[in-house]
Structure 1
Amino acid sequence: MRAIIVIPLLFLQIFFVKAQTSLKEINLKNGEFDVGFEHYLIIDSTRTYQIENDFNNKLVYRPIPVSIWYPATMDNKNSKQLTVLDYLEVLKEEEESKKLPNELLLDWFPDLGGETPQSRTHLSEKVNALSNATFLEGKFPVVVYAPSYQASSIENFALFEYLASNGFVVISSPSRGTSTRWLEGGTTKDVETQSRDVEFLLKEIHKYENIDFDRIALMGFSFGGLSNAITVMKNKKIDALISLDGTERYNYAVLENSPYFDLDSFNVPYIHFAQKDIPEEVMTNDKIPAELNYKFQLYDSLKYNDAYSYKLHDLTHSHFGSIGVLFAYRDKRQDKSDVKIMASYKLLSEYTLQFLNATLKNKENAKEFIEKSPDENGISETLVSKKMKKAHPREFKFLDFNNLALHQDYRDLVSLYQKTMAKYPTLKLEEGMLNSLGLRLSFNAGKMEQGINVFLLAVHIYPNSANLYDSLALAYLYNKDNKNAIINYKKSLELNPENQNAINTLKKLEE
């Protein structure tokens, strides 16, 4: 994770000691599935990009490296258990330094903290993922991940493996700038670029027959959380949002400046995990605003979704990713012990799984878990504290009803209307909007029956509307159902004897 330039002092730390951690000591217990991993490159031909390390100023179509973790079946002949070094080979490719000798790797990338015996040991650590593993049969929910500022798709590989072993697909691409690998500094433009990359992955998942496209969550770390907040406001197909110390908490102004900013559209279950309170010494020395420990404008502004805010009291910002837990230096002024950091990262992963089980798999025990306080779940509040708020009832409008009607192909609309009115008694379906919808469907090839159904609902709600009966008659006439056309033109005339269109059409039909 790279420090966010827009608030450069927030994560500026003086490091003194190197981490002494291991994947084994994090001790994430795998679920029931083997985990497959694949990394490949796709191209977005709608955008151009310059690979700086080619040193030729040539523009190419935007390359989007993709990493995907999935429930798998191991092929005993071809599958290979991967190591941390295999993941860092991905990092080299994404950072456009794939020819870099592995001997220089730890010193080359700042996120890896430099060459030390501890870091060198990590490279050979076995991970849970397998190469050349077959996608398990079935339909699995998917988590689309947006990394932190200028970071790799694999930055949270331990969490991704844990989720895949529990029946989720995780897909990720690196965080990179609009025209080159460099972002501008956490600008609204950077947010939109990363959001578009996430949307490209939302398109990419449709290539996989084992992914359930009706169960999609977004997850992001740091700057990725900010970008995902905008993506949720743009995309109505997202079912849940997870933010790992997302920057939407620290830099709400960038969010507000987006042309897509719309709090009313932010209506999916949302969980935000925040870093520990920054000590006064650090805030004073590094000139960090005190309000960053308590202010959370997005959370406070949300109305129409269930929202959960957790504070992990043993984690600082960089420890919300696997790479940070394993490699990042520790700041003696504020970082906890490695044992506490690993335990809290495990806790973060377990909470994430529970939230996904509740929102994407509809598991009752997971729903109960996320509703309870940490203490009620047997977790000390010295480790994590929680606040939450439930969604406010949202005004149900014509468009919302239309979405329900569309979902059932505009059938049984009177019954749907009655059920909806019982739940949302203030709903008002305007006569003119029903008339327009009915006409559009009636004269749309293959939608005649649906259009007539809309008109039947309309005359049920507005039985004294001559205009609606006239439109219903026209729909029947266009469908060559002259009998029902005559019946409804006559009904229109009963309500409005001066309806000249009904008079003229009936005369022709009865000749």
Structure 2
Amino acid sequence: MRKLLTVILCCVAGLSQAASNFSFDVAPGQHGVGLRVVEQYDYARSYLGKYDVVTGKPVSGETARPMQTVIWYPAAKSGKPVSYGEYFRLAASEERFGRSDAVINAELATRLNGTPGGKEHAGEEMARRMWAVRDAKPASGKFPVVIYAPSFGAHSYENADLCEYLASHGYVVIASPSMGAHGRSMTDDVEGIEAQAADIAFLIGYAHTLPQADTGNIAVAGYSWGGISNVFVAARDNRVKALVNLDGSVRYWPERIQEAKYVQPSRLTVPMLFLAARPRSLEDLAKRGKPVTSFLNEMKYSDVRIVTLPAMEHFAFSSDALRFMPSSAYSEYSAAEVSQSHSWMARYVLQYLDAYLKQQPSAKTFLDNEPKKNGVPDHLLTVSKTLSTGAPPTMEMLAHESAKSGFADVQQVYEGLRKADPKFELSESDMNNWGYGLMRAGDTQGAIAVLKLVTVLHPDSGNAYDSLAEAYETAQDKAQAIEHYRRSLKLDPKNANAVQHLKLLGAPL
């Protein structure tokens, strides 16, 4: 064990450890837990500029984005588990790999002095043993993947207890620190969210290199700021099969979602579990000066389950925070009650993942049960759910549903999607390109059906009729081709293409 941790352990070894304010009272699964840390770079993205933003001196060394990657995985039950201090140590090498022990120890000493409960309490927590064994032998088989996205500027291990718990129950869990686009400090803007979303995407790609990883079943779990970044990821990556939000910022930063035009309810069909802190009063919400709205209510094409835990404030969703929180931080609810709630949070996360990634009927039953039937103590949590209203109004879904009839009822399908969401509309250009795509694919009749719809939606467009005429010409329907070239020319007398094709077809102008 490294020098600083050895000193701490020696200081507390002769003492009876004081009771921790955090107790994780969940049962581990059938697997042991392996822990591996990989120091790698995302060479597709720059991280540092030419000059250091603090000292102003030229930057030396690697400037690509550092990705300290922490992996928890199902493993054989053998070996000595790590202490929490070994997780704590990771924070000192997130940006700069290969730092000396002396530099790391100095930074950790500073961090120890700054912990909320004081240095002595921090030392006791760091000496406590976890479940994970460093570089343990992996269990055989394939396991679903959970990417964990930490909170605003937080470390990869902020919920190490939850990550170990999931790994023991058969999940490969991967995390990296929450860092800003061009420095360690996260920024509370879209660029900051996009930086973390790109980190998640990098980790999804990395998961494909792991022999244990079942990359056909991927979930993204995020706490606080990580719980808005994972929504951004799911809006553009359909490989994500489930979302877990631990009091995620998707609820608290609606303006950031509005700024990102692509984060739309129609692009989020993935099921979500939202674990919520104690509800805020209307007065408190008004003080925030932000729109009183919830994107969760707009996710009508997703199954959304909300588990509310009244004993938990926002910080309580991080086991790292709970470990170092002094007793004075607890008032209305005791530390024991908060720990109990945190443990039930973890149980619901596991059951949710088992239901949606492993398709376990017992887990789905658990989610549908009243909390008391699951053994939850009275008044500890409440559960609500809203189910998807059906297919989302998107170009992809329009194509999918229309293809079922060979595109014969494309207009009816389009009108149905518009009825579900009046904001849904496709540009003439998009529809026109779709029709030509079908022609290139050899489906001329499908192209005719789609291009007919374009003329219905854009009756004054000469180009729409010109495209439909080309489709009829390709189908060797000379009469219809001539008719629609003439309609195109009437709407657009300068349409040289229509003139040329009418001549080729031997039709008078």
- TM-score (normalised: structure 2): 0.73
1:295 to partner: Cα distance: 5.6
**Number of corresponding residues:** 447
Q: How does 1:7-86 map to 2 (within 5 A)?
A: 20-21=19-20, 25-45=23-43, 46-49=45-48, 56-58=57-59, 60-73=63-76, 80-86=80-86
Distance change in 2, residues 1:328/1:335 (3 Å): farther
Q: Secondary structure at the match of 2:92?
A: helix
Q: Note if 1:363 corresponds to 2:360.
A: yes
Q: Distance in 1 between matches of 2:447 and 2:168?
A: 50
1:240-279 aligned at under 5 Å gives the runs 240-277=242-279
SS at match of 2:108: helix
SS at match of 2:151: coil
**Structure 1 residues 415, 83: CA separation in 2 closer, same or farther (over 3 Å shift)?**
farther
SS at match of 1:30: coil
CA distance in 2, matches of 1:435, 1:44: 38
Deviations 1:51-98, CA, capped at 9 Å, x for gaps: 889995406111111111111246x6xx54222121112122227586
Gaps of 5+ in 1: 1-18, 406-412, 444-450, 475-487, 506-511
1:178-216 C-alpha deviation (Å, 9 max, x unpaired): 2211123x2222222222222221222222233222211
CA contact (8 A) 2:228 2:250 kept: yes
**Structure 2: gaps spanning 5 or more residues:** 1-17, 419-425, 453-466, 486-499
Cα distance in 1 for residues equivalent to 2:448 and 2:279: 60
Q: Is 2:323 aligned against 1:322?
A: no
1:4-45 deviations in Å (ceiling 9; x for gaps): xxxxxxxxxxxxxxx94277x422211111211111122122
* 165, 179, 182: which one aligns with 1:179: 182
- The answer on whether the counterparts of 2:70 and 2:174 sit within 8 Å (CA) in structure 1 is yes
Letter of the 1:39 partner, please give it: V
Helix, strand or coil at the partner of 2:148: strand
**For 2:102 and 2:117, how far apart are their aligned partners in 1?**
19
Give the equivalent residue in structure 2 for 1:221: 223
Deviation at 1:420, TM superposition (A): 11
Give the TM-score, by structure 1 length.
0.73
The answer as to 2:192 corresponding to 1:190 is yes
Alignment CA distance shift 1:439-1:103 (3 Å): closer
Q: Write the deviation string for residues 104-128 of structure 1: whole angstroms up to 9, x where unpaired.
A: 7365257743544443222222211
Give the whole-Å Cα distance in 2 for the aligned partners of 1:112 and 1:171: 26
Shift of 1:361: 1.4
Matching residue within 276, 299, 302 for 1:302? 299
Secondary structure at the aligned position of 2:152 is classed as coil
State whether structure 2 residue 350 is matched by structure 1 residue 353: yes
Judged with a 3 Å threshold, the aligned counterparts in structure 2 of structure 1 residues 107 and 267 are, in CA distance, closer, same or farther, namely same
Contact 1:493 1:502 in 2 (8 A): no
Q: C-alpha separation between the residues in 2 aligned to 1:169 and 1:304? A: 28
Higher relative contact order (CA 8 A, sep 6+): 1
Q: Which moved more, 1:349-358 or 1:42-51?
A: 42-51
399 and 307 in structure 1: CA distance in 2 versus 1, 3 angstrom threshold:
same
**Aligned partners of 1:150 and 1:181 also within 8 Å:** yes
Cα contact 2:311–2:337 (8 A) shared by 1: yes
Instruction: Check whether the contact 2:166–2:350 (CA below 8 A) recurs between aligned residues.
Output: yes
RMSD: 4.3
After superposition, the Cα gap between the structure-2 partners of 1:335 and 1:92, relative to the gap in structure 1 and judged at 3 Å, is farther
CA distance in 1, matches of 2:469, 2:209: 46
Equivalent residue of 2:390, what SS? coil
Structure 2 CA distance for aligned equivalents of residues 110 and 299 of structure 1: 40
Identity rate, percent: 25
Specify the code of the residue in structure 1 equivalent to 2:159. Answer: N
